[in-house]
Amino acid sequence: MDEMAVLYGQVSAKVADEFASQNTHDPNFTVVIQPGLSGYNISSFGAEFLSELDCFHPNLPANEAFTLSIWNNMMSDPANKKTSLDVNDVKFICPTETTVIQ
């Protein structure tokens, strides 16, 4: 599973690079990789963030933290996207009138 996740990330990056290399400069379209939790060892979250159903899937608080992480990355410049998070201290980035989803 871990190997497939790495391969999926590599294919996604390749697709984004291919679109960027086409140099279309269309202001209405772009491809941006959301790194999400690519740099985080999810097993370190602890049992309090796992589902009681099977002790494998994340529970509601963990899913909320993951969702906010992806949202915050979409609100961040590509150079400032995060690859990890503190599930106990997730801040919500609120868009402004000048925010561009990236």
* Mean pLDDT score, 57-70: 85
Residue 14's pLDDT band, with cuts at 50, 70 and 90, is: very high
Alpha-helical runs (H) found in the chain: 2-21, 60-74
Q: Is the pLDDT of residue 84 over 90?
A: no
Contact (Cβ atoms closer than 8 angstroms) between residue 32 and residue 16:
yes
What is the token pair recorded at 95? 């868009």
What is the token pair recorded at 50? 């796992």
Global pTM reads 0.70
φ, ψ for residue 70, nearest 5 deg? -65, -45
pLDDT in tens, 18-55: 888 886 677 777 788 888 777 766 667 777 778 888 87
How many Å apart are CA 16 and CA 33, to the nearest integer? 7
